Chains A and B, each alone.
Chain A
Amino acid sequence: MTGTLALVCCGGVLFASGTALLMARPLTRILLGIVLIGNGVNILVLATSGAAGRAALLYPDSDPGRMADPLPQAFILTAIVITLAVTAFLVTMAYRSWQHSGNDDVPDDIEDIRVVRRATYAEERERLRAAYRKRRHEYRALARGEEEREAREHSAYQRLGTARDRYREMRRRARADARVFRARQARAEETAEEIEGEDDPWQTILGADR
C-alpha cells in the first residue's frame, strides 16, 4: 500500500488539537474537539485507500490498478453522516444546558461529591467524639481529685459542698460553651440554607445517619 504522509500528519494534527479541546469544560468546546477528531479519523480512513486514482464507477474501461479504492470512501461517507447527526444533537444539548443554567459547562457528579463528603464527615465526627470523651474524663478526674483533697481537709458536709460546687461550676461552663457552639452551628446552617435555597444540607448529606 502506498499512501501520503501528508494525510496521516494532517489526521494526527486534527486528533491532537481535538484532544486538547476535549479537556475544556464548556460543551461547545468539547463539541468542536469532537468535530476535529471526527474529521481527523475520516482523513486517516482516507489515508488507508492508498494512492490517489480515478473514480471507480465513472470510468468503466480504465485500468483497475489506477482506480482509487472506493471502500474507504464509502466508510467515510457513512461516518460523516453519523458525525453530522451527533454534532446536531450535542449542539442542542449545549443550548438546553445554557437555557437551564446560563452556561454550558459540564459539571462534576453531585452524588460522587456527596459520598465523599459523607465519609469525611463520619471521620470528623469520630475524631470529635473521641476528643469530647477525653475532655470529659479529664473534667471528671479533676473533680474526683479535688473531692479527695477536700475530703482530707474538711468535714464531710463541707467537703461534699465544695467539690460538688466546683464540679457544677465546670459543668455550667461546659454547657455554656455548648450553647454558644450550638447557636453558631444553627446560624451556620441557616446561612447554608440561604445559600442553597433548600432544606437542611446536613440532612441532605447524612439522612438517617445523624
Chain B
Amino acid sequence: MSGGGQPSEAAAVMSALVPLPVILPLCAAGLKLAIGARLERLQRFISAGVLAAVLVVSLVLLVAADRHGPQVMFAGGWAPPVGIVLVADRLSALMLVISSAVTLCVLVYSVGQGMADNDEVTPLSVFHPSYLVLVAGVSDTFLAGDLFNLYVGFELMLTASYVLMTIGGTLSRIRAGATYAVVSLLSSMLFLAAVAMVYAATGTVTMAQLPARLDALPDGVGMLIHIALLGVFAIKAAVFPMAAWLPDSYPTAPAPVTAVFAGLLTKVGVYAILRTQTLLFPGHRIGDVLMVLALLSLLVGILGAVAQTDLKRLLSFTLISHMGYMVFGIGLATHGGISGAVFYVAHHITVQTTLFLVAGLIERRSGTTDLQSLGGLARLSPLLGVMFFVPAMNLAGIPPLSGFLGKLGLLRAGIDDGGALAYVLVAGGTATSLLTLYALAKAWNLAFWRAPTPEMCAAGTVLEDTEADSDDDEDEDEAALGPYTRSTAPHVVLDRWEPAPVRRRGAATFGGQEITTSATLPPSMTVATAGLVLFGLAFTVLAGPLFSLTDRAADELIARTPYVEAVTR
C-alpha cells in the first residue's frame, strides 16, 4: 500500500518503465513508416513484438503499483507544475494490462485478415503505424498525470482513429468518418476550452495539485468546470444524449478497427469520467445527474439494439447501453460502485471487442452481417457458433460468467446505497440485462439457429397466417391476391412508398474492396478471436482476485492521497 520502503534503484527502474507503453508503440510506428511497405514479415514481427512488450511492461507496472503504490515518472526531471508527469496507479495499470492484451489479439486478427484478403501492401503501410499510434494514445490517456497531457493523449488516439476509420476511402467510410471526425473534433475543442478554464481558475493542470485547489474554488466556478469536463468525457464515452455518433460511424470500418474502437475508445472516456469524479470532484451533487444519464443510456441503447437487423449495429447499440452500467457505478461514488465499475470496464472491453471480432468472422464466412440474410451458421460452422455464444451470454450476464458478476457487483452497490434513484437504476439495469439477452438471442436465432439455406429460411418464415384459414375459397382468394406479405388489398396507394434506400454493401477489407469470403475461417483470425474468448472467460475464473484488485483500486481512488502524495512528494 505505502510508497515508502522500496529500494531507490528499483524505484528508478519502475519509473523508467512507466513511459514505455507510450514510447514503444510510437517508436515502432515511426520505424514502420520508415520501412514502408517492404519486409512484410519484419513489419508484422515489429508490431506483435512491441505490443507483447507493452503487455509485459503493463503487467510489471500493475504488480508494482499494487505492491508499492502509484509509480511516477517526471519527464526530463521537471517538477510537476511545469513538466509532464506520467502516473501508473492501480486503475491506470489495470487498464493498461487489459488494453494491451486486447490490442495484441486484435493485431494478430488484423494481420490474418490482411493475409486472407491479399491486400497486404495497403494495410501494412497505413494500418499498422496508425494502429500503433492509436495504442500509444490510449496508453498516454491512461498514464497522463495532467489534464493537458490527457488532451494530447486523446488527440493522438483520435487522429489515428480518423485514419483507421476512413481507411480505404470508400464512400460509406468517408460518410461515417465525417460524422465521427467532426463530433470527436468538437469534443476535443471543448476539452481544450475546459483545460483553459481549469488553468485560469487554479493556475495548474497537474491532476495531483488540482484536488486541493479545486476544493478551494467558489461553488459556481467549480461546478462550471466540472460540467465542462464531464460533458466532454461523456461525448467520448458515448453516454446517452451524446451517443448518436457511435452507431452511425462504427459499423462501416473494417472489423478489427471497429472491435478495437468499441473496446477501448469509449472506455478511455469512462476512465476520464472516473478520474474526474474521484480525484478532481469527489462527493459532488453531479453524481445524481450521472445516474440519470446512465439510466437513459441503458434503456435507450438497448431498445435501439432490439430494433436493429444488422449485427454490427446491434452490437454498437449494446455498447452504448452498457456504458450506462459503468456510469451508474461511477455515479454512485461509493466504494462498491467504483469497484464494480472498474471490474465492469475490464470485462466489457474484452467482451465487446470479442463480439465485434466474431462479427468480422461471420462476415468472412457469409459475406454479410445482415441478420435477415444470415442463417444456419451453427450448423455450417460450429466453432463460430461457440465463439459467438460464449461472449454473447457473457455480455447479457448469464450467471457463471463475468458479465453476471460485474452486474451483480454494481446492482449490489446500488442496493447498498439505498437511495430511490439507486433502486430505479437497479431496476433499469436488470431490465437492460434481460433486453440484452433478448437482442442477442434474436441475433443468435436469426444468424445461427435457423435452417441453413436462404430458400428454406424464406419458406420457413413467410407462411404464418394462411394456415389459420381453412376454407378452400379463402385460400384461393389469398392466392389471387398474391402473398399477402407484399402489401395486399387493391386500395393501396402506391405513391406512398418512396424508393427504398439501398443496403449497405459489404466493403470490409482494409482497402475497401469486397471481402474474400471463405468456408473455412483463416487460422490466425480464429486463434486471435478464440484467445479473446478465453481471456474473457479468465475473468470468470479469476473473478475473486480481480475483484479484490478493483476493491484496492477503489480504495486508492477514494482516498485520493496515495495519488497526490506519489506525485507531489
Q: Which of A1, A27, A86, A112 contacts B162 (CB 8 A)?
A: A86
B182 CB–A CB distance under 8 Å: yes
Q: Are A101 and B492 in contact (CB-based, < 8 A)?
A: no
Interface size counted on chain A using CB atoms at 8 A: 74
Q: Are B186 and A37 in contact (CB-based, < 8 A)?
A: yes
A52 to chain B, nearest CB (A): 16
Q: Are A34 and B189 in contact (CB-based, < 8 A)?
A: yes
Least CB separation from A143: chain B residue: B473
B195 CB–A CB distance under 8 Å: yes
Q: Which of B178, B458, B486 contacts A185 (CB 8 A)?
A: B486
Distance, CA A136 to CA B474, complexed state (A) = 9
- Known A41-B189, A119-B307: A96·B148 in contact at CB below 8 Å: no
Enumerate chain B residues within 8 angstroms of A10, measured Cβ to Cβ: none
Enumerate chain B residues within 8 angstroms of A114, measured Cβ to Cβ: 500-501, 503
Residues of A75-127 contacting chain B, CB below 8 A = 75, 78-79, 82, 85-86, 89-90, 93, 96-97, 100-101, 106-107, 109-115, 117-119, 124-125
Distance, CA A155 to CA B487, complexed state (A) = 42
Q: Are B461 and A128 in contact (CB-based, < 8 A)?
A: no
A182 CB–B CB distance under 8 Å: yes
Q: Which of A37, A93, A188, A207 contacts B174 (CB 8 A)?
A: A93
A163 CB–B CB distance under 8 Å: no
Distance, CA A21 to CA B554, complexed state (A) = 44
B227 CB–A CB distance under 8 Å: no
Q: Which of B171, B370, B480 contacts A178 (CB 8 A)?
A: B480
B387 to chain A, nearest CB (A): 24
Q: Are A204 and B502 in contact (CB-based, < 8 A)?
A: yes
Enumerate chain B residues within 8 angstroms of A30, measured Cβ to Cβ: 178, 182
Enumerate chain B residues within 8 angstroms of A207, measured Cβ to Cβ: 309, 370, 372-373
- Known A89-B159, A207-B309: A113·B490 in contact at CB below 8 Å: no
List 15 contacting pairs A-B, 8 Å CB cutoff, sorted by A. Answer: A1-B200, A79-B192, A93-B181, A100-B174, A115-B307, A124-B496, A132-B481, A171-B476, A181-B489, A185-B486, A196-B500, A201-B501, A202-B500, A208-B458, A209-B485
Enumerate chain B residues within 8 angstroms of A171, measured Cβ to Cβ: 473, 476-477, 480
Identify 13 new A-B residue pairs, CB closer than 8 A, beyond the known A111-B251, A171-B477: A45-B199, A71-B199, A72-B199, A82-B152, A106-B178, A125-B487, A128-B489, A171-B473, A177-B490, A192-B499, A196-B499, A209-B485, A210-B486
Q: Are A89 and B181 in contact (CB-based, < 8 A)?
A: yes
Distance, CA A208 to CA B486, complexed state (A) = 12
A144 CB–B CB distance under 8 Å: no
Distance, CA A89 to CA B476, complexed state (A) = 62
Q: Which of B461, B492, B494, B497 contacts A208 (CB 8 A)?
A: B461
Distance, CA A171 to CA B473, complexed state (A) = 9
Distance, CA A149 to CA B472, complexed state (A) = 24
Enumerate chain B residues within 8 angstroms of A184, measured Cβ to Cβ: 494
Q: Are A72 and B502 in contact (CB-based, < 8 A)?
A: no
Distance, CA A1 to CA B221, complexed state (A) = 15
A156 CB–B CB distance under 8 Å: no
Enumerate chain A residues within 8 angstroms of B178, measured Cβ to Cβ: 27, 30, 93, 97, 106
B169 CB–A CB distance under 8 Å: yes
Distance, CA A48 to CA B147, complexed state (A) = 15
Enumerate chain B residues within 8 angstroms of A125, measured Cβ to Cβ: 485, 487-488
B175 CB–A CB distance under 8 Å: yes
B310 CB–A CB distance under 8 Å: yes
Enumerate chain B residues within 8 angstroms of A177, measured Cβ to Cβ: 490
A113 to chain B, nearest CB (A): 5
Distance, CA A50 to CA B201, complexed state (A) = 11
B130 to chain A, nearest CB (A): 11
B551 to chain A, nearest CB (A): 37
A-B pairs, 7 with minimum CB distance: A207-B372, A201-B500, A177-B490, A48-B200, A192-B499, A175-B480, A45-B196
- Known A75-B148, A97-B174, A109-B248: A41·B193 in contact at CB below 8 Å: yes
The digit string for B362-386, where 1 denotes a CB below 8 A from any CB of A, is 0000000010110000000000000
B285 CB–A CB distance under 8 Å: no
Enumerate chain A residues within 8 angstroms of B177, measured Cβ to Cβ: 93
Q: Are A209 and B372 in contact (CB-based, < 8 A)?
A: yes
B569 CB–A CB distance under 8 Å: no
Enumerate chain A residues within 8 angstroms of B490, measured Cβ to Cβ: 174, 177-178, 180-181
Distance, CA A184 to CA B373, complexed state (A) = 28
Q: Are A48 and B199 in contact (CB-based, < 8 A)?
A: yes
Q: Which of B179, B481, B501 contacts A113 (CB 8 A)?
A: B501
A55 to chain B, nearest CB (A): 16
A135 CB–B CB distance under 8 Å: yes
Q: Chain A residues in contact with chain B, CB under 8 A? A: 1, 3, 22, 27, 30, 34, 37-38, 41, 44-45, 47-48, 71-72, 75, 78-79, 82, 85-86, 89-90, 93, 96-97, 100-101, 106-107, 109-115, 117-119, 124-125, 128-129, 131-132, 135-136, 171, 174-175, 177-182, 184-185, 188, 191-192, 195-196, 198, 201-202, 204-210
Distance, CA A125 to CA B461, complexed state (A) = 16
A109 to chain B, nearest CB (A): 4
Distance, CA A22 to CA B189, complexed state (A) = 13
B313 CB–A CB distance under 8 Å: yes
Q: Which of A47, A90, A129 contacts B484 (CB 8 A)?
A: A129
Q: Which of A86, A101, A112, A124 contacts B171 (CB 8 A)?
A: A101
A123 to chain B, nearest CB (A): 11
B155 CB–A CB distance under 8 Å: yes
Enumerate chain A residues within 8 angstroms of B175, measured Cβ to Cβ: 97, 106-107
- Known A22-B182, A136-B477: A201·B502 in contact at CB below 8 Å: yes
Q: Which of A27, A79, A124, A209 contacts B487 (CB 8 A)?
A: A124
Least CB separation from A27: chain B residue: B178
Least CB separation from A42: chain B residue: B192
Q: Chain B CB within 10 Å — which of A82, A177, A195, A201 has the most? A: A82
Enumerate chain A residues within 8 angstroms of B477, measured Cβ to Cβ: 136, 171, 174-175
Enumerate chain A residues within 8 angstroms of B174, measured Cβ to Cβ: 93, 96-97, 100
B435 CB–A CB distance under 8 Å: no
Enumerate chain A residues within 8 angstroms of B461, measured Cβ to Cβ: 208-209
Distance, CA A173 to CA B175, complexed state (A) = 50
Q: Are A202 and B486 in contact (CB-based, < 8 A)?
A: yes
- Known A34-B185, A188-B494, A208-B457: A128·B372 in contact at CB below 8 Å: no
Enumerate chain B residues within 8 angstroms of A185, measured Cβ to Cβ: 486-487, 492, 494
B504 CB–A CB distance under 8 Å: yes
Least CB separation from B190: chain A residue: A41
B41 CB–A CB distance under 8 Å: no
